[in-house]
Structure 1
């Protein structure tokens, strides 16, 4: 019971948090992560919408099964019916599912179209390459920024200035986060260099396979600043569980400062950005 209450408190803290603390998985989580993009907000709406159909249908089928078991059990119905056709029942079980499927299909296709149709031309393009078992990122614009992003090892926390385990959780924190500005349309080109991986960022509503020899395209427009976590979501070998993704969303000014410095000194740019975002306690680390 104590563990369950602690998990509830952690979940409430994440929902209420703002600034650097954005979205990540929590213990005993049954709901989707809080939406950080309009697409994820639509996905959460569609999930709730489908439950209004799934719930009643499940209860109806359960009630019909219970009624048949009780009404037509051997002791109460020793002579089984030989009825082989009922027009009304066949019309109901044909038309009913068709109507339900139409109510599900229309918003589903609308959501699918929105996922592949950015509202405006992307301002930033990032190529993400999945490798066993880390990600390579390349900014394909004026700034020539490229780096590898690996899961942070526990012994490297102090060196990287990421000792806050609530903000930089075990098995999710990385050494180099992807940095993007808030309220900016970002295109992500996803591929792989060895086996099939999957680029997934739950708070953004993104999950797209990374396939060797192919380039898939996704996009997002983060509406709030913070640090967001995802993971490779395609079984890709023995260290599949240790292939996290971290995206840090910052203000336009902070992004410009980071991008200007990251091409020449990625580690220094990251430390300076952490000092600006995580608070005064990071200033000493940034100055080292």
Structure 2
């Protein structure tokens, strides 16, 4: 495979202008990042969704900056030629600007991310502007913001009425003005997502936001049904049942071990002639049999 050329934020804006959709996928470790890059995805998001799908939490809230640095660094090793965005986790960019910048620095210098993602609207625009001024690209994220799930009433679709639609439009425009290079729209009604996409000069990337965003992002484990149990989601298209294949394969392994079908003779290594005699002596040469 020819060496892939990583995107940058200038190319992404050009793709929007030319109507070329952006493909984005989450990844949380070296092998998934490697496979995503080989598949040709434009961008990889190291999302704090790793809390749910990799670390076993029931939300993204327990995910720490140390978790994000660790997983981003692994992804960067696997996808050296792909643009990597890392999530700033819960409450790591809502304190002092110095603390926020320290966390951003860790994701960039230790995690080797190319950009950071931040959830929120008007309330974070000042921080976004400062981070961008420091030379760090920022991807915004509005609509359903999982870090705020306890204050927005759960995992529900956003932009269903006129007031909420206007709020989302105002937030998107404010984030663009603050310097965000793009915005994730999560669980936003298709009509509102389309309107926001038309109004902005920066790309929108949808997840559960319909057909008219400038790009799409899905979680690696959702695309591959790599979970147990797997919970179906209306906005997800699964392309393989990897979880089922893995479960079946592991079951076959257990069965083979129990029945002594594995390992077979072709999985074993032979010693040099005379080794058993040296261990047991001539009298014990046939002990193993």
TM-score (norm 2): 0.21
TM-score (norm 1): 0.21
**Structure richer in strand, relative to its length:** 1
Q: Which structure is richer in relative contact order (CA contacts within 8 A, separation 6 or more)?
A: 1
